[in-house]
Structures are given as structure tokens and as C-alpha cells.
């Protein structure tokens, strides 16, 4: 019984000592968001500075996001050009991830395939 009381006192003391340190940290911020979807629900167009459209699910409303020269495209883990990516996803239904910056809605990267 004494051992349990000592352990409990130690645990409470430890939590009290850590509380001020935890309170000093700022709230986490989300800088980037991702949409898990399929390749046939993504449209990247032909212009690097154009828009990309993505639909998260079959019944979801498609949303548009801006692209730039910094937007990256991947087939699996291999980095490709926008044209190669567009050709790859045409007519395919493979898993895809669409990432964009939350501050300015700019597409950071799009990946499809395995």
C-alpha cells in the first residue's frame, strides 16, 4: 500500500512539474492539408500556373486549387513532369494523394499510383 501511495505521489508530482512547460508551447498550426482520392478524380490541366481540380469522393463537390512551378508530381515515389503525370492518370483509377498549402490554397504536390 505504501508503495502504491509513493508511486501515485511521484506521478502527481511529475505531472505538476511538467504542466508549466507544456503550457508554454504554442498551439500547433496546420500548414498543409491532403486529400486522399483516386487518379480519375484529379484534373491538372496543361499549364503549370493553371488550376488543378480534385474530387475527394464520388459524391463530393470538386474543388479547384492553384498550381505553380513549385508544384511537384509523382507516380509512385518517382518524380515526373506535369505532362507525364497527366498521361499516367488518364483513364486510370489508382489511389492518389493531393496536397495543398492551407494559407494560400497552392498545390504543393500530387502523387498517384504505387
pTM of the predicted model, to two decimals? 0.74
- Give the model confidence (pLDDT) of 46-102 as tens digits: 887 889 999 999 899 999 999 999 999 999 999 999 999 999 999 999 999 999 999
- Sign of the four-CA dihedral 26, 29, 114, 68: negative
Q: Where are the domains positioned within the chain?
A: 32-112
Amino acid at each position: 500500500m505504501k508503495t502504491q501511495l509513493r508511486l501515485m505521489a511521484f506521478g502527481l508530482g511529475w505531472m505538476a512539474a511538467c504542466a508549466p512547460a507544456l503550457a508554454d508551447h504554442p498551439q500547433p498550426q496546420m500548414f498543409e492539408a491532403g486529400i486522399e482520392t483516386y487518379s480519375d478524380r484529379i484534373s491538372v490541366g496543361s499549364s503549370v500556373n493553371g488550376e488543378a481540380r480534385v474530387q475527394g469522393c464520388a459524391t463530393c463537390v470538386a474543388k479547384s486549387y492553384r498550381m505553380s512551378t513549385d508544384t511537384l508530381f509523382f507516380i509512385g515515389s518517382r518524380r515526373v513532369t506535369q505532362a507525364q503525370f497527366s498521361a499516367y492518370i488518364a483513364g486510370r483509377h489508382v489511389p492518389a494523394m493531393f496536397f495543398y498549402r492551407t494559407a494560400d490554397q497552392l498545390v504543393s504536390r500530387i502523387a498517384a499510383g504505387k
